[in-house]
Amino acid sequence: MKLSEKGPGKRPRPPSIPKEEKQAKRAKSLAKVAAKRLKKQRGHVPEACSPEDVRWKDIVSLLGQDVVNKAVEDGIEFDSPFPFKSEVELEVKTISSNGEGLAQSCEEDSIPWVVVVPFCLPGERVKCRVFKNDRMHSLADFIQIIRPNTELRDDERVKCKYFSKCGGCQYQMLSYDSQLAFKRDVVVKAYKNYSDLPASSIPEIQPTIGSPLQYGYRTKITPHFQAPPPKIDRTALQAQVEAGEKPDWLQIGFNIQSQNKVMDIEECPIATPVLNHALPEIYQNVVKTIHTYKKGATLLLRESLDTSVDPDPQDTSKDKQVCITNNHASIRERVGGFLFEYVASSFFQNNNAILPALTSYVREAIASLYPDPSDLARPTHLIDTYCGSGLFAITLSPDFSTVAGIEISADSILYAKHNAKLNNITPDKMSFRKGDAAEIFKSVSDFPPEKTVMVIDPPRKGCDDPFIKQLLEFRPKVVAYVSCNVHTQARDVGKILGATQDVLEGKGEKYVLESLRGFDLFPQTAHVESVAILRLV
Ligand SMILES: C[S@@+](CC[C@H](N)C(=O)[O-])C[C@H]1O[C@@H](n2cnc3c(N)ncnc32)[C@H](O)[C@@H]1O
Q: Measuring from atom 12 of ligand 1, which residue has the nearest CA?
A: 386
In ligand 1, the atom with minimum distance to the C-alpha of 464 is 19
For 46-153, CATH number out of 3.40.50.2000, 2.60.40.10, 2.40.50.140, 3.40.50.1360 equals: 2.40.50.140
> What is the C-alpha separation between 312 and 321, in angstroms, rounded?
15
Which of 349, 403, 407, when mutated, tests ligand 1's pocket best, judged by the most ligand atoms within 8 Å of its CB?
407
Q: By C-alpha distance, which of 244, 237, 228, 324 is closest to 284?
A: 244
Instruction: Encode the chain (537 residues) as per-residue pLDDT tens digits.
Output: 343 334 444 555 656 777 777 777 777 777 667 666 665 656 678 999 999 999 999 999 999 999 999 999 999 999 999 999 999 999 999 999 999 999 999 887 788 999 999 999 999 999 999 999 999 999 999 999 999 999 999 999 999 999 999 999 999 999 999 999 999 999 999 999 999 999 999 999 999 999 999 999 999 999 999 999 999 999 999 999 999 999 999 999 999 999 999 999 999 999 999 999 999 999 999 999 999 999 999 999 999 999 999 999 889 999 999 999 999 999 999 999 999 999 999 999 999 999 999 999 999 999 999 999 899 999 999 999 999 999 999 999 999 999 999 999 999 999 999 999 999 999 999 999 999 999 999 999 999 999 999 999 999 999 999 999 999 999 999 999 999 999 999 999 999 998 755 565 566 789 999 999 999 999 999 999 999 999 999
Query: What pLDDT score was predicted for residue 436?
Result: 97
Query: What pLDDT score was predicted for residue 51?
Result: 96
Query: What pLDDT score was predicted for residue 29?
Result: 76
10 Å Cβ neighbour count for 316?
11
Query: What pLDDT score was predicted for residue 4?
Result: 38
Cα 175 from chain centroid (whole Å): 21
Query: What pLDDT score was predicted for residue 322?
Result: 98
141 ligand 1 Cβ < 6 A = no
For 187-213+351-536, CATH number out of 2.40.50.140, 3.40.190.10, 3.40.50.150, 3.50.50.60 equals: 3.40.50.150
For every residue of 122-139, DSSP letters joined together read TT-EEEEEEEEEETTEEE
Which of 220, 386, 519, when mutated, tests ligand 1's pocket best, judged by the most ligand atoms within 8 Å of its CB?
386
Distances (CA, A) of 310 to 307, 313, 318, 419: 7, 10, 9, 14
> What is the C-alpha separation between 512 and 496, in angstroms, rounded?
9
Q: Torsion over CA of 397, 398, 400 and 405, rounded to 10 degrees? A: 10
333 ligand 1 Cβ < 6 A = no
> What is the C-alpha separation between 207 and 204, in angstroms, rounded?
9
387 ligand 1 Cβ < 6 A = yes
**382 forms bridges with which residues in the sheet?**
403, 453
10 Å Cβ neighbour count for 436?
14
166 C-alpha to ligand 1 centroid (Å): 28
412 ligand 1 Cβ < 6 A = yes
In ligand 1, the atom with minimum distance to the C-alpha of 458 is 10
Query: What pLDDT score was predicted for residue 508?
Result: 76
Q: What 3-state class would DSSP assign to 312?
A: coil
> What is the C-alpha separation between 200 and 156, in angstroms, rounded?
42
Q: Measuring from atom 18 of ligand 1, which residue has the nearest CA?
A: 436
State the catalytic residues: 484
**Residue 316 and residue 334 in contact, taking contact as beta carbons nearer than 8 Å:** yes
Any binding-site annotation on 436?
A: no
- pTM for the model stands at 0.91
Question: Boundaries of CATH 2.40.50.140 in the chain?
Answer: 46-153
